[in-house]
Chain A
Amino acid sequence: MLETARQFRCSTVRPTELVEGLIDKIRDDSLNAYITLDEAGALRDAKKAETALSNGSDDTLVGIPIAIKDNICTRGIQTTCASDILKNFTPTYDATVVARLRDRGAIIIGKTNLDEFAMGSTTTTSNIGPTKNPWDETRTPGGSSGGSAAAVAAGLCLGALGSDTGGSIRQPASFCGITGLKPTYGSVSRYGLVAFASSLDQIGPMGRSARDVALLYDAIKGHDPRDSTSVPRGFPAINLEGTDIKGLCIGVPDEFFAEGLSPEVEQAVRQGISMFEELGARVVPISLPSVRYGVAVYYIIATAEASSNLARYDGVRYGVRKDGSGDLTDMYMETRSQGFGSEVKRRIMLGTYALSAGYYDAYYKKASQVRALISKDFTDAFKDCDLIAGPTAPVSAFGLNEMMDDPLSIYLLDIYTIPANLAGLPALSIPCGFTGDGMPIGMQLMAPHFREDTLLGAGMTFQDHTRFHEVLP
C-alpha cells in the first residue's frame, strides 16, 4: 500500500488504472473471493482520488482499493452475509469503519465472501459457494473472512477488512499467507457490523504486511458514540518506524503446543519464535491453565448471543420472506427454515438451548464465569511478558471437502484464536513459513489490551527480517 501510494504521487500509476485493472482481475477470478463488485462506485471514487492527489493530498490511503467482508454494512451496496435470508438487502447506512475509510479517500471495491453470517472456519457455508485458496484452489482459504484473505493474497485488492469472533481474521490470514489483526475489543466500532456474537465480534484489517495492517487499523480505530461498547479513550496514531524489539519479553504457553498441532506448523512457529530471540527478544515459558476450556466456553457464549442476534431476520421488515400457509407462525418458520443454511440453524439451536429456562445457569452463566477465569489467566501472564506467541491454527489449509461433515473438528480449528476473543485481547497473525507442499503457516502474537503498537511493531520487525510475507501464490 505504501508503494502504491508512492507510485500515485510520481504518477507511474493512477487510481483509475489500478481500479480498472483490479476489476478485470476480479471478473476473471476463479477463487470466488467476492460476492459483490462495486464497479461504478469504485471508478467514481477513483476519479475523486485523482482529484485529491492532484490537489496534493498526502493521505496514504487516498485511492487505495479496499475489499470489505460482506457482513459489514455499505450504504447502497448490498450486504448479504452470504445468506439467502439477506440476499436482497441493501443498507441505507455505512458501517463506521467504512465511513472512516471513505473519509480517508480509500476506495471500496467490493464485498467479499464469508461463511454464512461469519459462522464457520472454511468459507464453505456461503450461499454463493466456497472461496478457494489462491495457493491451491482445491483447498480452503480458511474462514470466516476467507474472501477477504484470498482477495488480499491473490492481489484482488490492496487491503481488506474482516471480522473476527473466534479467529475469523487470523485463521484465514494464516491459511492464505497474509497478515491479519484482531484488535482489542472496543477499539474498533462495531456499528454496521452484522452481529454474530456481540461480546466477541471485532472488525479488523487484513493486508500483505504489518505495515499495511497498521495503516488500515489507524484509519478505522477509535471511539464511536454509536457503539456503546467502543471505549471512550484516546487512540494515538500507530508509529511503527523506529520500533525496537530488543528486550521485549515473549511468553510461550505450553497450552498452545498441545495435542492436535501439526508437526510442520509447530516447527515453523518455533523457528519464528527463535527468530524473535535472534532479534533481541527474550522468550519465557508461561502458563494459561484455563484456556483449554476456551472452545467449550466459546461455543456456548457465541451461539447464545447469535440465537438472539439472528432473531431479527423474521421476514417482517426486510430480507427474504416466505409466506407459507399465510399464518404468522408459519411465515416465521418457512422464512427462517429456507433463509438460513444448516450451520447457522445448528448454532441458533445450540444457543437457544443454552439460554433456555433451567439450562441457563449450567451453560451460559457457567461459561461466563469460566470466561472471566480465562481473562484472568492472561492478566496474570502479561505480568511476566509483553507478548504471547504461538501458532494461529493447529493446521495449514486443508482440502475444501475435508471435515465437511464434522463440525466438532472444525470447531477445534479455533482452539488458539478463541482465547483472544474471550479475553478481548488484540492478536495478530503473521506468515512464518510454509508446509512441505507449499501452504503458508501463520504465527499468532497476542498483546495486552490496547497494545496494538507493540503487536504491530513486533510483526513489522519480524517482516523486516523475513520474506514469508513477500512470497506470492
Chain B
Amino acid sequence: MREYDIVIGLEVHAQLLTNTKIFCSCSTRAGLPPNTNTCPVCLGMPGILPVLNKKVVDYGIKLGLATHCSIAHRNVFARKNYFYPDLPKGYQITQYENPLCENGFIDIEIDGTVKKIGITRIHMEEDAGKNIHDEKKPLSYVDFNRAGVPLLEIVSEPDMNSTAEAVAYLKELRQILMYLEICDGNMEEGSFRCDANVSVMPKGSKQFGIRTELKNMNSFKNVQKALEYEIERHIGIVESGGRVEQNTMLWNAAENRTYPMRSKEESHDYRYFPEPDLLPLEVDDAWIEEIRSLLPELPSARRRRFHRQYGIPEYDADVLTQSKPLADYFEKCTLLLDSPKEISNWIMTEVLRVLNEHGIDISKLKVTPEMLTDMLSLIKEGTISITMAKDVFSEMALTGGTAAEIVEAKGLRQVSNEDDLKTMVQDILKNNPAEVTKYREGKTQLLGFFVGQLMKATRGTANPKIANKLIKEMLDT
C-alpha cells in the first residue's frame, strides 16, 4: 500500500451563553417544555422583524481576538433560504460575504510540537428548532425553543493532517470558548457541534483528493472514530482504483460506520442575499478595544505561566488549566498557601476524584480554596496525617464542614505526644513477645507490624513519623 497524506478541515457550531436569543428577548435556556420558550419573532410570524442582540457580537469579537482573527468593521447579515419544518422563516439569518472574523489561527500541541491551525472565518447566525418524530405514528413535531439561539460558526483551514490533530484542535477550540465563558462546550447536548471535511492524497501530492463532509459526531471519541473510518474508506477506494464520491456522510455511532446522506437532502441552492431587515452592523475600533481589554488569559498562555511561575511540572499545568474555574481554584489556593506542588497534587488527585464521583464541576464543590489550604496547613503542622487528611477531605466534600471542625468532631487529632504513645507501645510489645523476639533476631521488616498495631490501637491518630521512630527506639533497646 502506498502512503497517504490526510487533509482535514473542521466546521464548528458553538451555542453562545447569552441570556437571550439572537433576534428576540426569549431566554436561551434549554430543557423547557416544547414551544414554551418562543415568541412571534422566533416563530417567524407574519410581519415580525429581527433585532440583533449586541452581546452576540461581543462574544464573536471575543473569540475572534482570542484566535488572532481580523475583525470586520462592516458586518452584513444574509439570508440562507431553504425549506425545513424546524426553520420558522424559511430562511436562516447568518453571515455570508462579510463575516465578523477572518484569517486567524489556533496553536495546537502534538507530542511537544506546536502547530498552527488556520481559522478561515467566524460568523454569527441563528440556530434552528428541533424536529421530533413519533416512533409509532407517521407524525412529526417541531419544538422551536432552540430556534434563534445564537451560534458562532468557526471554519478552519484544511490544515489538519491526522485525526489526532483534528481532535487536538477541537479540544483547544472548545477550551478557548469555555475560558472566554461564551459557550458551555457540551458536545452531547449539542452546544458544541462539529462537522468535518476529509480527503486523502498520495504522500507528497499537491492535488487534494475528493473530500466528503462528515456530520453527526457528538463526542470527541466519535469525531476520532468517524474520521478514522472515513480515512480508511477513502484509502480503500483509491487503492482499488476507484474515485471517492463527493458527498455528505452521516456517522452512525451504533454501527461504527458512515452512511451517505440522501443526495436530495443536500442539493440546496441557498440563494443567499443580504438580509434587508437588518442594517449593516458597524464595529468600530473602540468596540474592539473594549472587548480586547476584557479578554481573560487564554489556556495556552496560562499553561505556560503555571509551569514557569509555580514551578510545577508541565503535566500538572496541563491538567490544572483544563478548565478556567479549575485553574482559578488552583490560583486562589496558591494565594492562601505558598505550596503550589502540594496544592497541585491534592487538586489532581482528591479534588478531581470527588468532582468525578459526584459528577459536579468545581463551582459546586463544597470545599473552598480556604478550606483546602486550611486542611493542608493542618498536615504541615502535624495535627493530622496525610492518610487522615484524605478522609477529612472526603468528609468536607460531603458535609461542607471545615477540616478543624471534622478533626474535632471525629476525634481525629493526631497523637504526637511521645509519653502517651510510649505506654501504648509498651503494651503492644508485651502482648506480642514472639514478634519482638523475631525482630530482635534480625527480621526488621516486622517494624510495620508494630506500627500497624499502634495505629489500630489509636484508631489511626498516631503521628506516623513519631510512631515509627518510637517503636524502633523501643525495640532496639
Contact = CB atoms under 8 A, between A and B. Distances in A.
Interface of A: 71-73, 79, 81, 86, 89, 91-93, 95, 190-195, 197-199, 225-229, 304-305, 307-308, 310-314, 316-318, 326, 328, 332, 352, 355-357, 360, 364
Contacts of A199: 276
B398 interface: no
B45 interface: yes
A308 B90 contact: yes
Given A198-B276, A229-B279, A89 B271 contact: no
Given A228-B277, A229-B277, A356-B269, A86 B90 contact: no
A194 B140 CA distance: 28
Dominant secondary structure at the B interface: loop
B48 interface: yes
B356 to A, nearest CB: 44
Contacts of A308: 79, 81, 90-91, 271, 273
Given A79-B46, A311-B81, A317-B43, A364 B279 contact: no
Interface string B266-306: 00010111001111000000000000000000000000000
Interface in B42-57: 43-52
B138 interface: yes
Contacts, number: 106
B291 to A, nearest CB: 22
B40 A93 contact: yes
A194 B81 CA distance: 18
A360 B273 contact: yes
Contacts of B47: 71-73, 79, 91, 95, 190-195
Chain B CB within 10 Å, residue with most, of A71, A79, A316, A318? A316
Nearest to A190: B49
A191 B47 CA distance: 6
Contacts of A227: 49, 51
B50 A228 contact: yes
B26 to A, nearest CB: 14
B85 interface: yes
Contacts of A92: 40, 45
Nearest to B81: A308
B121 interface: no
B351 to A, nearest CB: 47
A424 to B, nearest CB: 12
Contacts of A73: 46-47
B447 interface: no
B88 interface: yes
B142 A352 contact: no
A246 B243 CA distance: 80
B46 A311 contact: no
A18 B79 CA distance: 47
Nearest to B82: A311
Contacts of A356: 269, 271
17 contacts: A73-B46, A86-B46, A89-B46, A91-B40, A92-B45, A93-B40, A191-B47, A199-B276, A225-B51, A305-B273, A308-B91, A308-B273, A355-B81, A355-B273, A357-B271, A360-B271, A360-B273
A49 B382 CA distance: 86
A65 B48 CA distance: 25
B89 interface: yes
A317 B49 contact: no
A279 to B, nearest CB: 39
The 4 closest A-B pairs by CB, nearest first: A311-B90, A198-B276, A355-B271, A199-B276
Contacts of B4: none
B40 A312 contact: no
A174 B352 CA distance: 78
Interface string B128-152: 0000000000101010000000000
B259 interface: no
B83 interface: yes
Contacts of A307: 81, 271
A228 B278 contact: yes
Interface string B69-95: 000000000010101010011110000
B256 to A, nearest CB: 30
Contact of A312 (B51, B90, B273): B90
A30 to B, nearest CB: 30
B277 A332 contact: no
B49 A352 contact: no
Interface string B220-233: 00000000000000
Contacts of B52: 228
A318 B50 CA distance: 19
A228 B138 CA distance: 41
Interface string B401-428: 0000000000000000000000000000
